[in-house]
Structure 1
Amino acid sequence: MNDNSKKKYDAPSLAVEELSKGLYESNLKLGDINKKQREFFSNISHDLRSPIAAIRSAIEYLEETPDIGIEEREDLYKLIDKKAASLEYMIDEIFLLSKLSTNNAIVKPVPLPCGNYLEDFFFTNQADSKFNDVDLVLDVPMNFEHVVEIDPNYFDRVLNNLFDNALRYLGEDGKITLGAKVDDSNTHVIISVTDNGKGIDASNIDKIFDRTFTGDVSRTPSGKSGAGLGLSICKKIVEIHSGEITCRSKTGSDHGTTFAITLPLLQSL
């Protein structure tokens, strides 16, 4: 038999030590993912139990107190309705985050003039009564005709979350500014939402987009915390748009927070 016809043996391109190291690092990453998943489900489980417990307690009290007054009964009904709405909202958030994580195709970006889109969003919110006591400012240059590719329905959700988040933590003379500019390289648009609220502690800035983060006490009324899926959803939606969302914040006398969204620039009209 001709030796040249034999299949040649190819030595492994990686040494055993390198393979072992790669396997070890992969196991570490997998362990970290599993840990974050456990933390996520633990946080979600806690947040879901809270409104359920309140609803059950209110129902039990109604059942055990037949001679309850009309006003107290109405207050309990309102409490049940409020907690049920909270529960429904959290379930919707969990479902949306799950969909975004498994199927990016549900987001359907289209080319839109960034300035026009932001103006429409701003004036819609300005007409909302929940912002009556807030100074809303539009800081977008005139004729800002740069085009970005976004799904307006999902991107509205991002900006609405940032506006609502800002509103929740404003004090007196609250102010929210929606801004936009082109970066120095003229390749990206930077959309910003800035508030003059209490600010976020520096130690939590890197954690706020993590779905396992249970909330920043400095940004939560009465020190209450929650799973805070809103910012995780914002991050996921922005990433699907090939963008990036970042946060910078200060506490103390010069307090305030800015969320900045960087999106690829398609063209200028």
Structure 2
Amino acid sequence: MSIKKRLLLSNIGMIVLPIIGFFLVEIIIGYVMFIILKGNPKGSDLNLFLTFRFIAMVLILITTNGLLTYYMSKSIIVPIKQLTQSAKKIREGDLEYRVATSKKDELGELSNTFESMRLSLKQAKADQARYERNRQELIASISHDLSTPLTSIKGYVKGIQDGVANTPEKLERYMDIIYKSTNDMDELIESLFRYSKLDIEQIPLSFEDVDLHSFFTDFIDELNFDLEKEDGRATLRADKDGDYIVKADREQLRRVVSNIVQNSLKYMDKERKHKIEVTLNSKYQQVTIEIKDNGRGIAKEDIPHIFESFYRTDASRNSSTGGSGLGLAIVKKIIEAHGGNTWAGGKPGEGTSIYFTLKKVSD
């Protein structure tokens, strides 16, 4: 019941209850004095009756008003004290003090709103802590991935200076390694730059109508040209009559697909023939794209984390497989900027599937 209704009923009760009490007391006192005790309704007995009646009226007024006031005060003051206590706890940094209630009045609604705010603050605090951990891990990962090629460059330059590369063949090999290491650094820095710009939404997206069937047909043809050197094969599965026109930035979409394919090829078992299969699934408002490989697969515990920056399923977290460690993180950022979702699936030894969605063009 709302506070407004309770106050209205309390005011009515302060009037009605004393009146009822007066009538009952008057009847009871009159019955006792004049019927049971056979008092004289005139003279001193009447004066005594009036005195008792007056005292009873005062007591009834005090009792009814006191009880109703106490009840109303308690129903308002107690929740306010709880809210005050909760506000003090939050001010002190304690976000564990719960103030939710099942009451349906205005103060109950206020308490539940306050509880929602507490939970939001608690979540924000947890998000901030997680962000700080991620920031520290990001700095550590950047330092690690930059120090590896730098150490290699320094070592081979020192070898050249000390005359270790004393033949043209050795010198050429050393220079090739130095060049490859600088390329790795350049790729990492470029990926970091792109990832940071995506993170703060500084890369403008040029949306246009893109026919995904035509887009992936061309992409598969180009990919097959490269895979044929290793006896690999890429295929496209889609209903030719399906509606695959989406709103997308063509350049960024190509980056998404390239990053996924490069990640697949990077972790592909060398003994197997490379197979990449792209599947388009058109639904009412979106198209789901699956890019599946026949690589080593992915462990269940790694699936939720593969879109995190610098996350590698390799527990050693080394850079032996190449790449910046940001490929799938960039994929997620670009797809989210398109209003879509990304997720992964797969099992060890059965390959990996990367999924993402894009919104279809509105009719």
Q: For 1:51, what is the secondary structure of its paired residue?
A: helix
1:129–1:205 distance in 2 versus 1, CA, 3 Å: closer
Q: Which has the higher helix share?
A: 2
Q: Which runs of 5+ in 2 are unaligned?
A: 1-79, 96-117
Shift of 1:218: 8.2
Letter in 2 for 1:41: I
Cα distance in 1, alignment partners of residues 165 and 223 from structure 2: 44
Alignment pair present for 1:182 and 2:282 = yes
Alignment pair present for 1:85 and 2:153 = no
Aligned to 1:9: none
Q: Do 1:199 and 1:219's aligned partners in 2 also have CA atoms closer than 8 Å?
A: no
Cα distance in 1, alignment partners of residues 182 and 320 from structure 2: 22
Letter in 2 for 1:264: K
Shift of 1:262: 1.2
- Once the two structures are aligned, what percentage of the paired residues are identical? 25
1:144–1:120 distance in 2 versus 1, CA, 3 Å: farther
Q: For 1:177, what is the secondary structure of its paired residue?
A: strand
Partner deviation per Cα, 1:18-48 (whole Å, 9 max, x = no partner): 6823344433321221111011111111000
The correspondence of residues 159-198 of structure 1 with structure 2, limited to 5 A, is 159-171=257-269, 172-183=272-283, 186-198=284-296
Aligned to 1:233: 330
- Greater relative contact order (CA < 8 Å, ≥ 6 in sequence): 1
Aligned to 2:37: none
Cα distance in 2, alignment partners of residues 87 and 131 from structure 1: 27
Q: Do 1:107 and 1:151's aligned partners in 2 also have CA atoms closer than 8 Å?
A: yes
Q: Which runs of 5+ in 1 are unaligned?
A: 1-11
Q: Do 1:195 and 1:256's aligned partners in 2 also have CA atoms closer than 8 Å?
A: yes
Partner deviation per Cα, 1:65-100 (whole Å, 9 max, x = no partner): 176111111100100010000000000000000111
Cα distance in 2, alignment partners of residues 260 and 86 from structure 1: 27
The correspondence of residues 132-211 of structure 1 with structure 2, limited to 5 A, is 132-171=230-269, 172-183=272-283, 186-211=284-309
Shift of 1:145: 3.7
1:77–1:130 distance in 2 versus 1, CA, 3 Å: farther
- Candidates 162, 181, 184, aligned match of 1:64: 162
Aligned to 2:314: 217
Moved over 4 A (4+): 129-132, 218-227
Cα distance in 1, alignment partners of residues 163 and 122 from structure 2: 61
Aligned to 1:262: 357
Aligned to 1:4: none
Cα distance in 2, alignment partners of residues 260 and 266 from structure 1: 19
Q: Do 1:44 and 1:227's aligned partners in 2 also have CA atoms closer than 8 Å?
A: no
TM-score for both structures, normalised by structure 1? 0.84
Is 25-34 or 52-61 further displaced after alignment?
Answer: 25-34
Q: Which has the higher strand share?
A: 1
Q: For 2:279, what is the secondary structure of its paired residue?
A: strand
- Candidates 23, 29, 37, aligned match of 2:127: 29
Alignment pair present for 1:51 and 2:129 = no
Cα distance in 2, alignment partners of residues 219 and 247 from structure 1: 22
